[in-house]
């Protein structure tokens, strides 16, 4: 018989408990393990972690399925991941921006190719271990924040649409992470104590610079202050993002105090990394951003101009703002108070209370160095 629900099983504790809860609720389920990254011969053994520990994760997913007594399927989406996620990731870094591959992975792989594979297997719905909730309100489906705000993943899911939400279950949306661990231990699941994955999947535990250097060759350049004074060298502007402190290796510099240094800008054309001292430097502050065309979960924005709250990075506190949408669907967002290190390439995600409205990729801000580069008076 065909399972009515296919659970995306990653080999982690969250997807394991999602499958357990659905099974115990009497649902007819099966698992599906997705391979999203394939190493070539030159990458095997690089660094310390391999890519996503895919074989270990696969074994764990099989072990959980066996424990639950459910069938499990396997699909290789590595080519789709390369074309739909990874090439964009590299192109964004080459342009000096900082992309968010998790957002693209959810849109292109987990809620597109995985959903298609589940339907080919005859399933009516899919389920994942994401911390978020879905609610039907009238004729529309809404994406809601998880009850556990510390684990809420709606930020990464803001590119989903009505068809995807109508076909998706998030069994963990009402649970705190501590309860998820306890449920896994009580059920004797082999993933109960497994460490949560962090960072970018295809990099795993490897050194980020070493990995990126395989696709964007390193080119040493100067680190300068906003007024042009040289304070050190860098191994490549691609390896740094706005607000970053780690890895600068700037020691005592004559004429400057001992305050820590932060990345405040990148000049990719001249291969210059711009740095300034102090976490609260005004060079990292912006009150306005403009985005690429936005995606709306309901299919359309609530209005052409409206107030809401927004996040410009994961786990940031939501910030009140005014949103204006231009004729091309791009957002012009003014925050009530200045924001720190708003980064082009990352996503701005909009909320009305617990409801995620949608979001867009950040294109530019009114941070001082960005305005100067565009010839705009600060």
User: DSSP secondary-structure letter at 317?
Assistant: P
pLDDT tens, 79-107? 999 999 999 999 999 999 999 999 999 99
Check whether residue 104 and residue 149 sit in a common domain: yes
Strands annotated E in 245-354: 261-267, 272-277, 285-293, 295-296, 305-311, 319-325, 330-340, 347-352
Q: What is the CATH number of the domain that holds 23?
A: 3.40.50.620
Is 201 a member of any domain? no
Is 369 in the same domain as 247? no
Read off the pLDDT of residues 166-183 as tens digits, 9 standing for 90 and up: 999 999 999 999 999 999
> For residue 239, is it within any domain?
yes
Task: Indicate whether 171 belongs to any domain.
Answer: yes
Calculated CA dihedral for residues 177, 183, 186, 191, nearest 10 degrees = -70
Do 245 and 303 fall within a single domain? no
Q: How many domains does the chain have?
A: 3
Give 172's contacts (C-beta < 8 A, 6+ positions apart).
14, 17, 18, 21, 129, 130, 131, 146, 180
Residue 206 located in a structural domain: no
Give the 3-state secondary structure of residue 120. helix
Instruction: Classify each residue of 165-194 as buried b or exposed e, where b means 16 or more C-beta atoms within 10 Å of its C-beta.
Output: bebbbbbbbebbbeebbebbeebebbbbeb
- Per-residue model confidence as pLDDT tens digits over 217-254: 888 999 999 999 999 999 999 999 999 999 998 978 88
The residue behind tokens 């809601």 is: 144
Distance CA 194, CA 181 (A): 9
Note whether 98 and 52 are same-domain residues.
yes
- One domain for residues 72 and 181: yes
Q: What is the CATH number of the domain that holds 255?
A: 2.30.30.280
Tokens of 79: 């080519």
Residues 255, 331, single domain; the answer is no
CATH of the domain at 321: 2.40.30.10
Residues 168 and 114 in one domain: yes
- 269-311 pLDDT tens trace: 999 999 999 999 999 999 999 999 999 999 999 999 999 999 9
201 belongs to the catalytic site: yes
Pairing of strands 261-267, 319-325: unpaired
CA distance linking residue 351 with residue 145, whole number of Å: 9
Question: Is 290 assigned a catalytic role?
Answer: no
Rounded mean pLDDT of 135-148? 96
d(CA 223, CA 219): 13
Residues 125 and 31 in one domain: yes
Which residue of the set 52, 105, 321, 356 is catalytic? Answer: 105
Do 80 and 56 lie in one domain? The reply is yes
Q: Are residues 69 and 151 in the same domain?
A: yes
Please count the other Cβ atoms lying within 10 Å of the Cβ belonging to residue 327: 6
Domain holding 303, by residue range, is 284-373
**Span of 15-19, 31-35, 250-254, 331-335 with lowest mean pLDDT:** 250-254
Mean pLDDT is lowest, of 48-62, 135-149, 320-334, 352-366, for 48-62
Q: Determine if residue 318 is left, alpha or beta; phi over 0 gives left, psi from -120 to 50 gives alpha, anything else beta.
A: beta
154 and 18 housed in the same domain: yes
Is residue 378 in a domain?
no
Q: What local confidence, expressed as pLDDT, does residue 93 receive?
A: 93
Q: One of 201, 308, 321, 356 is an active-site residue; which one? A: 201
């Amino acid at each position: 018989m065909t399972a009515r629900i296919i659970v995306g099983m990653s080999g982690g504790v969250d997807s394991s408990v999602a499958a357990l809860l659905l099974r115990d609720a009497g649902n007819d389920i099966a698992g599906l393990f997705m391979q999203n990254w394939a190493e070539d011969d030159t990458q095997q053994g690089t660094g310390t972690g391999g890519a996503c520990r895919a074989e270990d994760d696969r074994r764990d997913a099989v072990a959980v399925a066996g424990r639950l007594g459910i069938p499990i399927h396997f699909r290789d989406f590595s080519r789709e991941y390369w074309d739909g996620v990874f090439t964009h990731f590299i192109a964004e870094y080459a342009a000096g921006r900082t992309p968010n591959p998790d957002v693209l992975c959810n849109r292109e792989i987990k809620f597109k190719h995985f959903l298609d594979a589940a339907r080919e297997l005859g399933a009516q719905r899919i389920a994942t271990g994401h911390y978020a909730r879905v609610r039907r309100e009238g004729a529309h489906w809404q994406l809601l924040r998880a009850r556990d705000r510390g684990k809420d993943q709606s930020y990464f899911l803001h590119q989903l649409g009505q068809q995807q939400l109508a076909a998706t279950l998030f069994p963990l949306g009402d649970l705190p992470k501590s309860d998820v661990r306890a449920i896994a231990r009580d059920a004797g699941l082999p993933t109960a104590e497994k460490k949560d994955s962090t960072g970018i999947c295809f990099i795993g535990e490897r050194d980020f610079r070493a990995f990126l250097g395989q696709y964007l060759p390193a080119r040493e350049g100067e680190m300068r202050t906003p007024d042009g004074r040289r304070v050190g060298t860098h191994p490549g502007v691609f390896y740094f993002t706005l607000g970053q402190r780690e890895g600068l290796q700037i020691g005592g510099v004559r004429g400057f105090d001992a305050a820590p240094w932060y990345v405040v800008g990148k000049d990719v054309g001249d291969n210059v990394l711009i740095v300034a001292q102090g976490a609260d430097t005004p060079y990292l502050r912006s009150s306005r951003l403009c985005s690429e065309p936005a995606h709306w979960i309901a299919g359309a924005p609530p209005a052409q101009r409206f107030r809401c709250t927004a996040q410009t990075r994961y786990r940031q506190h939501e910030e009140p703002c005014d949103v204006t949408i231009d004729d091309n669907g791009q957002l012009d967002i003014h925050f009530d108070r200045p924001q720190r290190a708003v980064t082009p390439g990352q996503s701005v995600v909009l909320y009305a209370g617990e409801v995620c409205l949608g979001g867009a990729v950040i294109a530019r801000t009114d941070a001082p160095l960005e305005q100067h580069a565009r010839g705009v008076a600060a």
